[in-house]
């Protein structure tokens, strides 16, 4: 799980990229607290073979579930 709350872009994307490069997870949970990070992490993950599910607790906290496409 990556907790990127409180960080502005590009740091959430950088953190996800490092995790994907290092561990090649089949699933990854990412917590962010702004829509820009949701969009950027989702785009990056999609371009790297992951399906993204966005769950919103409220307007300023999001959980992204990244799942490797088969």
Is 9 considered catalytic here?
Answer: yes
Q: Residue 63's beta-bridge partner residues? A: 31, 55
Distance CA 11, CA 60 (A): 17
Name the catalytic one among 7, 9, 52, 65.
9
Residue the block writes with tokens 């990556």: 2
What is the set of active-site residues?
Answer: 9
């Amino acid at each position: 799980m990556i907790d990127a709350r409180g960080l502005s872009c590009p740091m959430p994307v950088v953190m996800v990229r490092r995790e994907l490069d290092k561990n090649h997870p089949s699933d990854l949970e990412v917590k962010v607290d702004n829509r820009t990070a949701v969009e950027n992490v989702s785009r990056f993950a999609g371009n790297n073979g992951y399906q993204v599910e966005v769950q919103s607790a409220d307007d300023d906290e999001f959980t992204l579930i990244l799942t490797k496409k088969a």
